[in-house]
Structure 1
Amino acid sequence: MASNAVLADQFPSEQSSAIGGVDSNEIVVTATRSGAQSIQNVPISVTALNPEALQRQGNDALSDISRAVPGLFIQEQGGGQNKIVMRGINATSGINQTDTAENALVSVYLDDVPISIQGSTPDIRVYDLERVEFLRGPQGTLFGAGAMAGTVRYITRKPGLSSFEGSAEGSLATTRGGDNSYSVRGMINVPLVTDQLGLRVTAYRGKDGGYIDNVVGADNFNDLDMTQVRSIVRYQNQSNFTADLSYLYGNVDSSARSFAYDGLEEYEFQANNPSGLKDRFHIFNFAPQLEIGSITLFSSTSYISRKYTFFDSQEFFSAGLLGLDTPEAAALTVNDITDFTQEFRVTTDQSRPLRVQLGAFYERQTRHYDQSNVWPGLDSAFGIDSLDFFAEAPDQIFRSDTNTKTKQLAFFGEVAYSPVPALDLTAGLRYFDWSQHYTLLTAGLAGVDASGQPLTLAGDSKANGFNPRAAASYHVTDDVMIYAEAARGFRYGGINQVVPLDFCGPALAAQGLAAAPIDFGPDKLWSYTIGEKAQFLDRKVTLNVAAFLANWNDVQTRRNLDSCGYNFTENSGRIRSKGLEIESRVQPTDNLSLTASGSYTDAKTRDINPNIAPFAGARVPYFPKYIMSIGAEYEIPLKGTNLILQGDYTYRSSTGTRFNPADLGYRTIPASNVFNAAITLEADSFSVSLFAKNLTDEYVIQGIYNNAYPAIQPGDTLTVGRPRTVGLRVKKQF
């Protein structure tokens, strides 16, 4: 859970050097992909977090650091299984790992590599990063279809070419009622050829101790082990050419996710079978850049290979659906993904009145999704042989095999013009052409048609169109800017899993449907933002405010068939989200920083739609109306060292789990109040921190999945945050 004090680092702070002509007392971002700019001069709503300040508090994951970001909410299940929501642009209830149809609304980038997968973006640990950028609002012109609500960017540190350096860091923490956690990490930077060729390697190894007790198994059984290794080789000639070759390896192994049942004691779950996950990924990237006069040519070639596996215990599902006494009932889900992307960009001199950026983007992705549900005792209970229903093993009630091949080609450009130095006008456009070929097969008793044959489907989906953007900014003074922006966001459509009529016919009929739709169309969004970025009193006071209105049409929503375990995606109605985002910092003295941020988001349906809610004005699920964070950082100079005191408080208001409060499955996620603190003793090359997260030991509920079988299952399924955790971090630089 991030200290809001880290938000101070998006405002003026001490930086080691200037970048691209930007004053060294400013934090810089590359949010517009046209070079480094002061965050106060970028005419979009953006937050940049400093990893160094985050690490003092023992924060490693995106879910930790993002709590202080206004207009952002992350649904978590542990192990990097999260769904990122910005500005209330959300229409589905929680995370469904068996849903291959839902596409991301927020894009996530590692430098210039897109890594987003809805519900399961790789968990990049916060170490040896320049910063993490959060861009709110549609970024589709520069970042593509997955950026309809916003973009998150991890910006890595690049190799230094002139000097050898390194660091080693370790942390140990204890969680109230849970296991201990630890992490070790290191970085080494080696100039292989002085001023021309360098290598930078970082490594992370850690364990997040479990804190959920399995009442029929082990205590603290949701522990997580993670390994990550990142290497970057940089070549730079003496004048105008730079090339980076990078590789990231990640491996996650979790015994269970962060589930608890509300019918048991706090932090208790019941599972007779594994309910964890495994995730392994490889990310390669080659990024050369050439400067020719006033023109900069940039290329990014990337390849991702990823395989992640989920295990689910299904003893209550099998008992509730078919009345089986099968404690060993379980499901196994495997996603195997490869993704190749190529992007080219041409940028003109950004110091001139007329500035141009042109680019092209290509992506080819293959995805194999396999699901297997085995319920021991099924065959004997019903006097059947599952193999007769084309299962691959006895007692396999369901299996699915889904293959998709996706391609997209896009061309984009932005033109910025400054008729006078204080005024900037920007217009951008992206053309995209997207296609997907898919094959689906389901089998087993719950996956065949009325004649007992496997359900199969093959087909193609296509979409093309334009995403425009326009923006204007005006500097009233050197330290006060006002801006306005209009942008269109777009998300592709897709295909649904086949819903068998003989198995789910009654559930479909109960909702007035003869069959489930085979596919669904794209949805789109227009967003309008006005804002100001201002600094006063010799830049000791900073106040950034943005107001937005977003109209979302043909919204992709998920319909759940709870009684048979299936779901499908459809286009249903319109949603309007409007709100306000505020970030501020006050520095009364050189040693004291006070920060505050917050957002108000009012996201509701605009139609009477029985698929969502029988009235207009239903609030979107899983997004708090109010998010607020305040923090303080105080530095005490001592002889040869500095003592840094940090503290913060984050509030999130309650939110619903579905649109319609009258739905039997509607639940309210309670408001949360989280306090964090850290004390750091910092010398030239050594630091030690004592940190505490969730200081008041709040029982933080992050998600609720309603209980479809209350007579059998001990309550709703909750995803819950970590109890109070206290730890020690030591870092040595050399």
Structure 2
Amino acid sequence: MTASTSPKRHLFATALLCSSAIVPFTATVAQAQDTQASNRNNDEIIVTATRRETSVTDVPYNISAVSGTAIEKAQIFDDAELLRSVPGVGVIDRGARNSGTLNQVRIRGLSVDGNGLGDYAVSSVASVSTYLNETPIFGNFLLRDLDRVEVLRGPQGTLYGSGSLGGTIRYITRKPVLGEASGWASTSFSSVKGSESIGYSLDGMVNVPLGDKAALRVVGSFGDYPGITDYVNVYDLDANGIPVAPSGILAADASYGVVEDADTVEQWMGRATLLWEPSDEVDLTLMHIRQSDDVGGRRQSSFNVDGFGNAYGDNENGSIQLEPSTRDINSTSLEMNVDLGFATLTSSTSHYDHTGDSISENTGFYAQAGFLGFYYNYPRPMASAVRTYADEAIVQELRLVSNVGETFDYVVGGFYRKQQIESTQESYLRGFKQWWDTLLPGLAAVVSGDKDFDYRRIENFEEVAAFGEVTYHATDTIDLTIGARYFDNKSENDTFIDLPLYTGVFTPTNAFFETSEDDILFKGNLAWRYSDDAMIYATISEGYRRGGSNAVPLTGTFAEDPGWQIYGADNVVNYEVGTKGSKNGLTYDVSAFYIDWSDPQLNTATTNWGFFAVQNGSSARTYGIESSLDGYIGDNWHYNLGYAYVNAELSGDFFSPSNAVTPVAIDGARLPGAPEHMLNWALDYTGSINDDWDFFARLDGSYQSETRNGVGVSPTFNVPLDGFSLWNATTSFTRGNFTGSLWVKNIFNEKGVTGVFTEAYMGTSPAEGYFGNGNKEMISLPRMIGVTGSVGF
């Protein structure tokens, strides 16, 4: 009989072996670099992840940080590229369209949602929380004038008001500088392979002192980028937006056109920050940020052939209509810090309002869903889903952070959020009414119009939480931290649904439901600083994601199984051990984790009538190793390496609330969007050409192994996605306050697919008059070459 070892024990043993190997290795390299350290710039990043200013290497758990300066030097413009440079962070790259609708970042594999989500706002919150300074908000803001970005892995509810399941990402903006008048201006021009035009962006910042105790910092950004995607099967439309009928309304033929570079992107962002320090003990920061996006279509390409048998080429989309989106987000926050002598009291008050809309091609979905054929099968079918979302919240957090004591120190806080989320969908069969009235003029009253589906969900959510940590300094080198979070949530869901196409056939339905929940979560952390610049740590922490109600009707035309009416919170228990250290500019971090996930939430649709809904599964588990190494070769060469191994699977069958016999996903299914292996790397050189000019060059990249598109047993969604690597390069020349840069993204023009709508889900169907093809792949941005010039003053 062979003895077995649990993944948890095996993983932690592996981590300890890695630690024992890497510590002497880094020590040797650091000693070799010791004589050069004095000539090297100090690249240490100070973070506030623990609610105190601390070096990354002194934080006793797994955290990564990227400085704003590094983001700017590498010419990183979007979240997808930024987060690919962080070990163990996965991104579903949808491009700019609907990029603010849904947080598609995945840490440690904690997601069961399919990679295709994102066209509409879902009910459940993301497994990864995001903060803009002290405001918990997902806005996918432009990366301009940032101080740093912090990525915290694992649950963070005992230090942050907004709980998180898999981790927290914090975007920290630069504050105004007192007594300094300064600024900068920058412009970029770029060309993307497959596009016919040049894109550009204009960015700038000005810092204005307002006396000795106040300052104002204003940041502005505007970008106008041509598309790369050609919509090659688009209907020609008449003045009413109905497909043109060349041979008459009852004839089957249609007129098609091509719209080149349809996925244009226009974005602008403005941010104003006012800092006032009336005394040495008090400071107040008032910030307002607004961003607007206007996107012409999807950066997603179709594959195989259209209904005429023509094969799709690179960057060609088979939708028979354009799919634009817009969004606007406003956020205002007031942060106040008061030094009480023994502790610092922080108050953060914020309000945000985030709205968006889009049009999605649903004709391919209707063509594949045979049960819709009773009203779908008409000449020149054109199914449009017009969707909107709105998210508005008021957030208040109070936090008291003690000074570091000899024996104890603490963080305690309270959190309140009142939030309203609205999601709508109006679906239209463009031209159906016109065709019906022409075919059956005597029965014109039977069809009410082109609208065939009407849906609205409004959810009001209120959360009250208390959180905190106490750290006991057992010795000069050993710290023990205990944390807890209590939360009390209330949720109201009001849902409306109607199928209005046929007059009087279906009765509109409203459903309303209320839920509440409360619980306490715990965290324990032990850290041993076995030398002045190295530590070993171990953490056990709990995380949760709130539950809620789906508010489905239980009687009438649109009745659903009662099991769909509510969904519960899901919870994780995170076990982690690791080691990290720094010496003479060389830093390392190795950690191993094991996570038990109970009742994972899946965003899906109800069985009978397709209400957007959330259901709970049984259980899942993820485990893996995350590691990073950052150092120098001589005075001029700098490198960093990151590797993550993640094994993320269901650990129990997943059943629909209305069917406890046939699983929708089975035990052992790999979680979607979670590569087993992820690598990232960067090598840069900084030096001088002569007394006037400095030179910077950087080569970086990332790799992820094969992933799955979904978690279910159905091949309609759960298909494999190939692994890929992306490479980027930047060179910059600096003289005084001027810097000129030449950069290339995706050097080898890798396709980089992170999600797909399959043909089984949205394919072509010539037999039903649909000659386009609704399948699509979510591809990385093709090779882009650009230049940037910036000047400071």
Is TM-score (shorter-chain normalized) higher than 0.5?
A: yes
**1:128 CA drift (Å):** 1.0
**1:243 CA drift (Å):** 0.3
1:625 aligns with 2:625: no
What CA distance in whole angstroms lies between the structure 1 residues aligned with 2:297 and 2:272?
30
What CA distance in whole angstroms lies between the structure 2 residues aligned with 1:701 and 1:326?
31
1:272 aligns with 2:320: yes
Q: Retained in 2: the 8 A contact 1:326–1:375?
A: no
**1:365 CA drift (Å):** 0.8
Match of 1:192 among 210, 213, 226: 210
Residue 183 of structure 1 aligns with an amino acid whose one-letter code is S
Moved more, 224-233 or 350-359: 350-359
Counterparts in 2 of 1:70 and 1:377: CA distance versus 1, 3 Å: same
Q: Where in structure 2 are the equivalents of 1:27-46 lying within 5 Å?
A: 27-33=45-51, 35-46=52-63
* Matched positions, count: 694
Q: Retained in 2: the 8 A contact 1:386–1:445?
A: no
Residue 548 of structure 2 aligns with an amino acid whose one-letter code is G
What residue in structure 1 maps to residue 271 of structure 2?
A: 230
- Deviations 1:303-327 (Å, cap 9, x if unpaired)? 0012111111233234443223344
1:89 aligns with 2:110: yes
Q: Where in structure 2 are the equivalents of 1:570-719 lying within 5 Å?
A: 570-609=615-654, 615-638=666-689, 639-660=691-712, 663-707=715-759, 708-712=761-765, 714=773, 716-719=775-778
Residue 50 of structure 2 aligns with an amino acid whose one-letter code is T
1:337 aligns with 2:415: no
What CA distance in whole angstroms lies between the structure 1 residues aligned with 2:422 and 2:335?
28
**1:463 CA drift (Å):** 1.0
**1:412 CA drift (Å):** 1.1
Moved more, 142-151 or 123-132: 142-151
**1:514 CA drift (Å):** 5.6
Match of 2:499 among 436, 444, 451: 444
1:355 aligns with 2:390: no
Q: Retained in 2: the 8 A contact 1:517–1:568?
A: yes
What residue in structure 2 maps to residue 242 of structure 1?
A: 283
Counterparts in 2 of 1:634 and 1:386: CA distance versus 1, 3 Å: farther
What CA distance in whole angstroms lies between the structure 1 residues aligned with 2:285 and 2:210?
14
Match of 1:125 among 142, 150, 153: 142
| SS at 1:53 equivalent | helix
What CA distance in whole angstroms lies between the structure 2 residues aligned with 1:29 and 1:387?
67
- Deviations 1:532-562 (Å, cap 9, x if unpaired)? 10234xx243221010000000111234579
1:521 aligns with 2:568: yes
What CA distance in whole angstroms lies between the structure 2 residues aligned with 1:617 and 1:360?
39
Residue 333 of structure 1 aligns with an amino acid whose one-letter code is R
What residue in structure 1 maps to residue 590 of structure 2?
A: 545
Moved more, 597-606 or 663-672: 663-672
| SS at 1:205 equivalent | strand
**1:664 CA drift (Å):** 4.2
Q: Retained in 2: the 8 A contact 1:358–1:414?
A: yes
1:262 aligns with 2:314: no
What CA distance in whole angstroms lies between the structure 2 residues aligned with 1:298 and 1:496?
36
What residue in structure 1 maps to residue 125 of structure 2?
A: 103
Residue 51 of structure 1 aligns with an amino acid whose one-letter code is G
Q: Retained in 2: the 8 A contact 1:559–1:567?
A: yes
Q: Retained in 1: the 8 A contact 2:484–2:521?
A: yes
Q: Retained in 2: the 8 A contact 1:645–1:680?
A: yes
| SS at 1:640 equivalent | coil
What CA distance in whole angstroms lies between the structure 1 residues aligned with 2:549 and 2:623?
30
Match of 2:176 among 132, 135, 159: 159
**1:563 CA drift (Å):** 10
| SS at 1:147 equivalent | coil
Counterparts in 2 of 1:451 and 1:461: CA distance versus 1, 3 Å: farther
- Deviations 1:316-362 (Å, cap 9, x if unpaired)? 23444322334443111111221100111111102543111111111
Residue 262 of structure 2 aligns with an amino acid whose one-letter code is F
Q: Normalising to structure 1: TM-score of the pair?
A: 0.89
Counterparts in 2 of 1:562 and 1:376: CA distance versus 1, 3 Å: farther
Q: Retained in 1: the 8 A contact 2:698–2:729?
A: yes
What CA distance in whole angstroms lies between the structure 2 residues aligned with 1:307 and 1:556?
24
Residue 375 of structure 1 aligns with an amino acid whose one-letter code is L
Match of 1:253 among 269, 272, 294: 294
Q: Where in structure 2 are the equivalents of 1:428-467 lying within 5 Å?
A: 428-445=483-500, 452-467=506-521
**1:568 CA drift (Å):** 3.1
Q: Retained in 1: the 8 A contact 2:449–2:501?
A: no
Counterparts in 2 of 1:384 and 1:658: CA distance versus 1, 3 Å: farther
1:555 aligns with 2:592: no
What CA distance in whole angstroms lies between the structure 1 residues aligned with 2:65 and 2:500?
51
What residue in structure 2 maps to residue 295 of structure 1?
A: 343
Moved more, 704-713 or 723-732: 704-713
**1:496 CA drift (Å):** 2.5
What CA distance in whole angstroms lies between the structure 2 residues aligned with 1:576 and 1:156?
35
**1:679 CA drift (Å):** 0.6
- Deviations 1:496-550 (Å, cap 9, x if unpaired)? 3648999999xxxxxxx967612211111100111110234xx243221010000
Moved more, 611-620 or 393-402: 611-620
Structure number with bigger Rg: 2
What residue in structure 2 maps to residue 721 of structure 1?
A: 780
Q: Retained in 2: the 8 A contact 1:412–1:429?
A: yes
Q: Retained in 1: the 8 A contact 2:527–2:536?
A: yes
**1:260 CA drift (Å):** 1.4
Match of 2:65 among 45, 48, 52: 48
**1:427 CA drift (Å):** 0.8
Q: Retained in 2: the 8 A contact 1:404–1:439?
A: yes
Q: Name the Cα RMSD after superposition.
A: 2.7
What CA distance in whole angstroms lies between the structure 2 residues aligned with 1:384 and 1:547?
70
What CA distance in whole angstroms lies between the structure 1 residues aligned with 2:345 and 2:603?
42
| SS at 1:316 equivalent | helix
Q: Which runs of 4+ in 1 moved over 6 A?
A: 382-389, 499-505, 561-564
**1:104 CA drift (Å):** 1.2
Gaps of 5+ in 2: 1-29, 31-40, 235-257, 305-311, 657-662, 766-771
**1:567 CA drift (Å):** 5.1
Residue 565 of structure 2 aligns with an amino acid whose one-letter code is I
| SS at 1:55 equivalent | helix
| SS at 2:754 equivalent | strand
| SS at 1:272 equivalent | coil
Match of 1:421 among 476, 484, 488: 476
